[in-house]
């Protein structure tokens, strides 16, 4: 209402009413948006904040009614214990090696394949692209067993070989999605680039390596990030193909069982609740330890990530 009054040039009362209505709606929408966003952000952050607050608690704090979010006996001890318990140094190194290997290979292969689908009109392109879609649709369970048996027959189990071969040939799980993203990205680039490059005497390979790759950095970072993150939490494939390789995902998946084995208090009478509280704290701290590297990477890659989200129009 007020802002309409403040606009002195409008003399027509009808128009004025319309404007004020518009303003009220706008205000309501803004209010609704703010509530919605804050609500969702809270829902997303709440479990995380919860774990952070819990990870600094002594277990007596957990069943102390007066303690809510801030620990009374503030202690970093849990982190040290959890690190020792899950053997953090080793599994972190293992996971980083595996994830980097897999995601570098996938980012490279999917970008190349996506480029091929986006910039060349060859015979059978539609059919071949349908195969990419098929890769997305086939449940991994259908092909997992034969893959396992084949890798076993080729003596490739228990090494990085299965991961390398799947990543290099762009058929690892979710590679279909990445090829799709890369294809969309390259489709959006003007055709004139190719023509100009051809006139300057660059062949298709030269065009790709010296022109296209440079502008493809956002999409490659995005694929890298997606694939890295997915591999970080992935357990099925690692379990099957490289069963004695300890990763963070594998450790976390079994943490319930390994925590249940811990006995507290050196033989004294410890209540079930205290045991449970301790387990919960360890679980929260270990989960945080597993997520922290991802968060750090996200902070650095976030800009690229959102940039390529903005640019990639993903039309089917």
Partner 1 sequence: MQRKVKSKGPAYKSSLMQRRNRTGYVFITPFLIGFALFMLIPMIQSFIFSFNDIKIVEEGYTLIPKGLYNYKNILMIDTRFRQNIVTSFGLTIRDTLVVVPFSFFAALILSKEFKGRTIARAVFFLPVIVSTGVLATIDMKDSVMMMMMSRDAASAANSMQDSFSASSLVNLLFSGSLPISMLETISQATSGIYEYIIKSGIQIIIFIGGLNTISPSLYESSNIEGATAWVNFWKITFPMCGPYILLNLVYTIIDSFTNLSNPLISRIRNDLMGLKNFGIASAAAWIYFIAIFIVLGIVFAVLQRRVFYHE
Residues numbered 237 to 266 that lie near partner 1 (CB under 8 A) are: 239-240, 249-250, 252-253, 255-256
Residue 145 within binding range of partner 1, rule CB under 8 A: yes
Please tell me the count of residues contacting partner 1 according to CB under 8 A: 110
Among 98, 113, 216, 219, binds partner 1 (CB under 8 A): 113
Euclidean distance between CA atoms 170 and 167, whole angstroms:
5
Instruction: Tell me which residue of 287, 245, 292, 248 sits closest to 89, measured CA to CA.
Output: 248
Candidates 5, 7, 27, 30; binder of partner 1 (CB under 8 A) is: 30
By CB under 8 A, residue 215 contacts partner 1: no
Burial class from Cβ neighbours inside 10 Å (0-12, 13-18, 19+) for residue 2 reads exposed
Residue 20 or 147 having the CB closest to partner 1: 147
213 binds partner 1 (CB under 8 A): no
Q: What is the DSSP secondary structure assignment for residue 234, as one 8-state letter?
A: -
Among 134, 196, 217, 262, binds partner 1 (CB under 8 A): 134
Q: Which of 109, 224, 241, 289 is in the footprint of partner 1 by CB under 8 A?
A: 109
C-beta of 240: minimal distance to partner 1 in Å? Answer: 7
Q: Does the protein bind partner 1 through residue 58 (CB under 8 A)?
A: no
- Least distance (Å) between residue 304 CB and partner 1: 12
Q: Using CB under 8 A, which of 60, 169, 209, 258 touches partner 1?
A: 169
Question: Considering only 4-12, 80-88, 131-139, 262-270, which stretch makes contact with partner 1 by CB under 8 A?
Answer: 131-139
Q: Which of 45, 47, 1 is nearest to 21 (CA)?
A: 1
Question: In this structure, are residues 36 and 60 in contact, taking their beta carbons and an 8 Å threshold?
Answer: no
Give yes or no for a contact between 159 and 166, defined as CB atoms under 8 angstroms apart.
Answer: no
Instruction: Give the residue, chosen from 98, 170, 216, 289, that forms a contact with partner 1 under the rule CB under 8 A.
Output: 170
290, 248 Cβ separation under 8 angstroms: yes
Pick one of 123, 190, 263, 269: the residue that binds partner 1 (CB under 8 A). 123
**Beta carbons within 10 angstroms of residue 279's beta carbon:** 17
| Calpha distance 294→88 (Å, rounded) | 15
Q: Which residue has the tokens 């004020």?
A: 20
């Amino acid at each position: 209402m007020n802002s309409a009054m403040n606009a002195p040039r409008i003399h027509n009362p009808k128009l004025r009413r319309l404007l004020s209505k518009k303003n009220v709606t706008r205000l309501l929408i803004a209010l609704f948006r703010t509530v919605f966003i804050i609500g969702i952000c809270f829902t997303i952050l709440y479990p995380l904040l919860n774990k952070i607050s819990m990870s600094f608690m002594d277990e007596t704090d957990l069943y102390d009614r007066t303690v809510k979010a801030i620990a009374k006996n503030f202690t970093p001890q849990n982190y040290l214990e959890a690190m020792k318990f899950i053997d953090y140094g080793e599994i972190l190194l293992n996971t980083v090696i595996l994830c980097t290997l897999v995601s570098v290979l996938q980012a490279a292969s999917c970008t190349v394949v996506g480029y091929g689908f986006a910039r060349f009109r060859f015979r059978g392109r539609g059919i071949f692209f349908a195969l990419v879609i098929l890769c997305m649709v086939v449940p991994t369970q259908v092909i997992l067993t034969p893959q396992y048996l084949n890798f076993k027959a080729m003596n490739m189990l228990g090494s990085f070989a299965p991961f390398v071969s799947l990543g290099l040939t762009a058929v690892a799980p979710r590679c279909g999605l990445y090829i799709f993203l890369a294809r969309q990205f390259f489709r959006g680039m003007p055709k004139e680039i190719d023509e100009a490059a051809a006139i300057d005497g660059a062949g298709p390979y030269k065009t790709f390596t010296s022109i296209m790759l440079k502008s493809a950095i956002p999409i490659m970072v995005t694929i890298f990030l997606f694939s890295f993150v997915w591999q970080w939490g992935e357990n099925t494939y690692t379990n099957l193909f490289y069963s004695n390789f300890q990763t963070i995902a594998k450790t976390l998946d079994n943490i319930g069982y390994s925590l249940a084995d811990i006995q507290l208090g050196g033989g004294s009478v410890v209540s079930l609740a205290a045991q449970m509280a301790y387990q919960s704290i360890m679980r929260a701290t270990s989960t945080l330890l597993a997520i922290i590297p991802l968060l750090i990477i996200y902070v650095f890659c976030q800009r690229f990530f959102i940039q390529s989200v903005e640019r990639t129009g993903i039309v089917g």
